[in-house]
Amino acid sequence: MARNYALGNQMVFDVLKRQVSTETNVVSIGGREAVILKLLCDHVNEVVGKEYIQEKVWGKVFVSETSLTKAISNLRKSLSQFDNIACEIKTISKEGYMLILDESVSRVFIQEEQPVFEVKNIKQSRKSYLSNMKVAPYPIERNLSIRTDIPMRNIYFLLVCFSSALLASMLTAGAIVIFNKFF
Using H for helix, E for strand and C for coil, what is the string for the chain? Answer: CCCEEEEECCEEEECCCCEEECCCCEEECCHHHHHHHHHHHHCCCCEEEHHHHHHHHHCCCCCCHHHHHHHHHHHHHHHCCCCCECEEEEEECCCEEEEEECHHHHCCEECCCCCCCCCCCCCCCHHHHHHCCCCCCCCCCCCCCCCCCCCHHHHHHHHHHHHHHHHHHHHHHHHHHHHHHHC
Average pLDDT over residues 105-124: 51
80 pLDDT more than 60: yes
What's the pLDDT tens digit per position in 39-72?
A: 998 888 899 999 998 888 888 888 888 889 999 9
Residue 168 has pLDDT above 90, yes or no: yes
Look at residue 95 and tell me whether its pLDDT is greater than 70: yes
Given this model, what pLDDT does residue 165 score? Answer: 92
Q: What is the pLDDT of residue 109?
A: 47
Whether the full predicted model's pTM is greater than 0.85, yes or no, is no
Confidence of residue 111 (pLDDT cuts 50, 70, 90): very low
Task: From 45, 31, 55, select the one nearest 97 (Cα to Cα).
Answer: 45
* Of residues 130 and 97, more confidently modeled: 97
Instruction: Round the average pLDDT of the chain to a whole number and report it.
Output: 78
Q: Residue 117 has what pLDDT?
A: 52
What Rg, from alpha-carbon coordinates, does the chain have?
32
Q: What is the rounded distance in angstroms from the CA atom of residue 100 to the CA atom of residue 109?
A: 16
Please choose, from the candidates 166, 42, 17, the residue with its C-alpha nearest in 3D space to the C-alpha of residue 109. 42
Residue 63, pLDDT score = 84
- What's the average model confidence in pLDDT over 71-84? 88
| pLDDT for the residue numbered 96 | 92
